[in-house]
């Protein structure tokens, strides 16, 4: 129990330290100037994109739950997804909101397994789509950007292929060296994946929704960068931005703060932009996304106030 408390403290502390380190090593004046001069109309556009991604994500969650015979009304899914997104942005680990969603939807099912599976598979679809777009972008980058030499092209392709190979290797290791419980769990996940993403047409619905959601995330980050005067080139939409977004899934910070800024400071110069602009874009993105989830509090509080 005590170790769990320490882990909950270490996560935000590590994120804060990493963020402060990145911010202190950057040109702080340039970052603050970029943020203060951010274009207001683009900030509102990013806020709108956040609403789109949350509603589409709630729709994907509701559809996934229905495929598992766990009916979930779209209105409830949207309310819980707003609140869950807010919790993921402000609490350590980035999964507190997902746990909340599973717990609240459990009222529709006596078992924990189905609500948890619906949440896990919904998030899994988004991460796979983001990883696929990012991997494809890194493979295509050398052929799109003429300034990239043969050695850099080889590195990009090896990174993309190596990432896929790493995930496959981890899966096989878990399967062959894991306990009987692990194997049963993986089999159950496999059957659930078949139900959620198999025929008829479920794979098409899931793919369209996931790609649309990922596109909204990428667009929101690109708009944040454009708002501070650093428009991202087209190739950056399928390379550096997906990679920055993937770092938010690493459970060593709060809401991706710190890891996202560190990645942006390294990756933005690859697009002929400055590291300071990458950090500023990442900060603005984090702030706007957090603000964009605040309607979840209103949607959550109003029904309780009406009942009282």
Tokens 């270490």 belong to 10
| Residue 115 and residue 106 in contact, taking contact as beta carbons nearer than 8 Å | yes
Per-residue pLDDT at 147 exceeds 70: no
Residue with tokens 């295509």: 140
> How far is 225 from 223, CA to CA, in rounded Å?
5
> Predicted confidence band at 280 (pLDDT cuts at 50, 70, 90)?
very high
Instruction: Give the CA count within 13 Å in the CB-facing half-sphere of 119.
Output: 21
Considering only residues 148 and 278, tell me which one the structure prediction assigns the higher pLDDT. Answer: 278
pLDDT digits (tens, 9 = 90+) for 84-112: 898 888 887 677 888 888 887 766 555 66
Question: 15, 254 in Cβ contact below 8 A?
Answer: yes
What is d(CA 276, CA 265) in angstroms, rounded to the nearest whole number?
7
The pLDDT-based confidence of 291 (bands split at 50, 70, 90) is very high
The region that residue 14 occupies, defined by phi over 0 for left and psi between -120 and 50 for alpha, beta otherwise, is: alpha
Which residue's structure tokens are 């911010």?
A: 23
Torsion of CA 222, 215, 128, 50, to 10 degrees: 80
CB atoms within 10 A of CB 248: 23
49-76: pLDDT as tens digits: 999 999 999 999 999 888 888 888 888 8
């Amino acid at each position: 129990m005590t170790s769990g408390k320490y882990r909950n403290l270490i996560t935000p502390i590590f994120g804060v330290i990493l963020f402060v380190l990145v911010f202190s090593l950057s040109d702080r004046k340039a970052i603050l100037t970029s943020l203060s001069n951010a274009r207001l109309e683009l900030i509102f556009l990013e806020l709108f994109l956040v609403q789109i991604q949350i509603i589409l994500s709630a729709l994907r969650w509701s559809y996934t739950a229905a495929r598992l015979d766990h009916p979930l009304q779209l209105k409830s899914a949207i309310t819980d997804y707003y609140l869950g997104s807010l919790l993921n942005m402000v609490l350590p680990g980035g999964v507190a909101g997902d746990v909340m969603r599973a717990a609240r939807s459990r009222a529709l099912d006596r078992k924990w397994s189905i609500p948890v599976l619906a949440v896990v598979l919904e998030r899994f679809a988004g991460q796979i789509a983001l990883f696929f777009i990012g991997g494809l972008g890194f493979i295509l980058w050398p052929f799109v950007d003429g300034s990239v030499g043969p050695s850099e092209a080889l590195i990009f392709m090896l990174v993309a292929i190596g990432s896929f190979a790493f995930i496959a290797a981890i899966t096989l290791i878990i399967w062959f060296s894991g306990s009987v419980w692990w194997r049963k769990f993986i089999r159950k996940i496999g059957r659930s994946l078949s139900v959620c993403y198999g025929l008829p047409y479920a794979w098409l619905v899931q793919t369209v929704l996931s790609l649309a959601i990922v596109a909204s995330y990428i667009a929101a980050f690109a708009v944040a960068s454009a708002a501070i005067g650093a428009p991202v080139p087209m190739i950056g939409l399928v390379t550096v931005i997906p990679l920055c977004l993937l770092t938010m899934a690493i459970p060593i910070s709060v809401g991706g703060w710190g890891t996202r800024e560190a990645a942006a400071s390294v990756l933005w110069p690859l697009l002929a932009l400055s590291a300071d602009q990458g950090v500023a874009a990442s900060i603005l993105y984090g702030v706007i996304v957090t603000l964009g989830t605040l309607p979840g509090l209103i949607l959550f509080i109003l029904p309780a106030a009406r009942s009282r």
